[in-house]
Amino acid sequence: MERLNAGDVKGASEFVPVLRRDSDGAHIPLLAAAAAGDLERMELLLDLGAQVDLPGDLGMSPLHWAAGRGNEAVAQRLAASGASTTSRSWFCLTAGEVAALNGHHGVARQLGYTAYHTDWHKVSFERMEAL
């Protein structure tokens, strides 16, 4: 299957304003694609100018969602596109910590997280002490 580019999709330019930081709901398309592991749709959204680090509910970025679901390819692409591996959710968790807490240690290592915990309360408490 050939990869789609923004110019290949009829009417794609109409969606560009929706993907910008100042638009309500700008985070939703990329978050949904990342959470679903839809690499092709995510690539198209990034080509259209979607902001890679816009957080959604609970301060979770697209990288948090991809990492939490164990999708290495999506996490790798987001990181390569400039997604922050150090940004924290409202629970003070990085994407690597979210991956580790969900048992996705390969993704966690890929994102630079190596201190594995099985108890999210312990991770959150340690992070809160550090703040």
Q: Give me the residue spans of the domains in the chain.
A: 6-130
What is the tens place of the pLDDT at every residue in 7-18? 554 444 444 444
Work out the widest C-alpha separation in the chain, in whole angstroms: 51
Tens of pLDDT, residue by residue over 19-63, are 444 444 556 889 999 999 999 999 999 988 888 998 887 889 999
* 122: confidence class by pLDDT, cuts 50, 70, 90: low
pLDDT at res. 25 = 52
- 115 pLDDT band, cuts 50/70/90, is low
- Whether residue 111 is predicted with pLDDT greater than 50 in this model: the reply is yes
- What pLDDT is attached to residue 34? 93
Judge: domain 6-130, CATH 3.30.200.20: no
Q: What is the mean pLDDT of residues 72-98?
A: 94
Long-range contacts of 2-8 (CB under 8 A, 24+ apart): 3/40, 3/43, 4/40, 4/43, 4/44, 5/44, 5/47, 6/44, 6/47, 6/48
